[in-house]
Amino acid sequence: MTTVLCIGGDAGIQEIKKALLEPRGYIVLTARDAATGVAISRKHTVDVTVLDFNMAGMDGYKAAAILMKEQPTVPVVICSGSADDLPESLKWFADVLVWKSAGPEALLAAIEKAMGFTTAAKRSSIRVTAGTERQPSADWQAT
């Protein structure tokens, strides 16, 4: 079974994600903040991370950087409510971007797309971690 780690500040939204994903055969781990999500990723095997961008405390940008450094083969789906909230440099730290307003089917499609990036060789051309000089792949896009 595929394990999805959902990290975000709104407990209600996390429960909706869980209710959406579990009936489709996913194991869902949730965290209400980025620090807890990073800690969970260190204790459990995760296949894909769904990360809200705007959170109190550590934001999605910093959390994504840590997750990708520590778990370079685990794809990250960034969820955001607005393109205005996202820095251009986010392209370096996400495999797939999905707008919260796009609905549950868009989230499912984003997770499935991200799961296609699970090999390190494939992903090395898709995203990079801070301090490198590679360009982001054309595969990175908003869903």
Q: Return the closest-CA partner of residue 109 out of 94, 97, 127.
A: 97
Q: Return the closest-CA partner of residue 53 out of 24, 87, 22.
A: 87
CA–CA dist 62, 93 (Å, integer):
9
Instruction: Supply the pLDDT for residue 60.
Output: 80
pTM assigned to the model = 0.79
Instruction: Supply the pLDDT for residue 10.
Output: 86
Instruction: Supply the pLDDT for residue 9.
Output: 82
**Is 95 a domain residue?**
yes
**Is 143 a domain residue?**
no
**Containing structural domain, residue 104:** 3-124
In this prediction, residues 38-51 reach a mean pLDDT of 95
Q: How many domains does the chain have?
A: 1
Instruction: Supply the pLDDT for residue 94.
Output: 76
CA–CA dist 141, 78 (Å, integer):
11
Between residues 117 and 6, the one the model is more confident about: 6
Instruction: Supply the pLDDT for residue 26.
Output: 96
**Number of CB atoms found within 10 A of residue 125's CB:** 14
In this prediction, residues 22-48 reach a mean pLDDT of 95
The CATH number for 13's domain is 3.40.50.2300
Res. 96 pLDDT band, cuts 50 70 90: confident
**Is 41 a domain residue?**
yes
**Is 29 a domain residue?**
yes
**Is 138 a domain residue?**
no
CA–CA dist 24, 142 (Å, integer):
23
Instruction: Supply the pLDDT for residue 115.
Output: 86
| Token couple for 92 | 């370096």
In this prediction, residues 123-141 reach a mean pLDDT of 38
CA 75, 81, 87 angle in degrees (round to 5)? 65
Digit-coded pLDDT (tens) for 58-79: 878 889 889 989 998 899 998 8
Specify whether the CB–CB gap between 103 and 79 falls below 8 A.
Answer: no
Res. 46 pLDDT band, cuts 50 70 90: very high
